[in-house]
Structure 1
Amino acid sequence: MSLLLGIIILLLFIYWMESRNRLCTTINKTYIKISPKGGELGGRGIFACQSISKGEIIEEGHLLLIPSNESETIGIFQYYVYTRTDTGGKNGIALPLGNGCLYNHSYTNNAIFRSFKDKFKIIAIQDISKDEEIFTCYGCNHPNKQDHFDYTKSHDFAFI
């Protein structure tokens, strides 16, 4: 129960920071090239405030890793967490801090989401123009799944 309370407090803090447009400079490394705002598809999204070059790291942040035996307590956050299988073959979920849970999905994504133990990076895979929304591919567990990649072998994230 304390884990659930901690996650609720964290998400409320993220919402408060986002509403004041200070999220990028407070939780993660400073990335002044992106900003959360209303997305084209409804809800929130991440947009480029400046041009971003292919191969550029858009964001780096920390992951709150939760083992699978505790993951049932966060069902209400299912659209903000990612499943992952670590190198030891253990399943669990990861809550990205910062803007990590606000990137929208597209199979024609312009960025990729990579994990490194308890950290993540979002990297541009093509040039991104100012005011363009940044998309990642959620992968195999997304409701509109297509044959895209096997996240259990590549350490990519898949949206629950």
Structure 2
Amino acid sequence: MRFKASIGYLADTGTKKGLGVFASRDIAAGEIVEIAPVILFGGRLEDIPDALSNSAFGWRAIGGETKFAICLGYGGMYNHANPANMIYSIAHERGMRFLASRDIRANEELTVNYNDTKGGTDSTEDI
């Protein structure tokens, strides 16, 4: 099993979001940004410590059997946007794939949509 390294870097967003992940170069629509390893677990979201709950993905909702996944790498650091500039999906039983949903410019923040539990870029609700 291989994991693709991210093509981004962590930096302060200059907003209340704090740290975010930014593109280190131009990224083409459809390009893999990261394949991040995950830690899978069952249980209830309420049982996850607050420090980790913001990084938990609904693994079952996107096609897995386990209830939740914590993404390693930059996977747990992507901030929310609606619409987001990345989509996500299960890469294999222990990894999550993040793809550019559109062309992304160097130094642009890389984002996912927290409200679209199927990994899409848009949702009718916003947090």
TM-score when normalising by structure 2: 0.76
Task: Give the conservation status (yes or no) of the 8 Å contact 1:61–1:96.
Answer: yes
Q: Which has the higher helix share?
A: 1
| Amino acid in structure 2 at the alignment position of 1:53 | A
Structure with more relative contact order (C-alpha pairs < 8 Å, separation 6 or more):
2
1:121 and 2:74 matched: no
Q: How many residues align?
A: 117
| Residues 64 and 94, structure 1, Cα contact 8 Å, conserved in 2 | yes
CA pair 66-49 structure 1, distance change in 2 beyond 3 A: same
Cα gap change, 1:107 to 1:29, in 2 (>3 Å):
same
Residue 72 of structure 2 corresponds to 97
Choose the corresponding residue for 1:110, options 71, 85, 88.
Answer: 85
| 2:121 maps to 1:147 | no
Q: 2:11 aligns with which of 25, 33, 37?
A: 37
C-alpha change, 1:53 and 1:95, in structure 2 (3 Å) is same
**Larger CA Rg, structure 1 vs 2:** 1
Q: Do structure 1's residue 134 and structure 2's residue 110 form an aligned pair? A: yes
**Cα deviation, residue 30, structure 1:** 2.9
Q: Work out whether residues 71 and 93 of structure 1, in 8 Å CA contact, stay in contact via their aligned partners in 2.
A: no
**Offset of residue 39 of structure 1:** 1.8
TM-score of the aligned structures, taking structure 1 as reference length = 0.62
Residue ranges of structure 2 left out of the alignment (5+ in a row): 118-122
Q: Which one is further off, 33-42 or 120-129? A: 33-42
After superposing on structure 2, the runs of 4+ consecutive aligned residues of structure 1 that deviate more than 2 Å are 28-31, 73-76
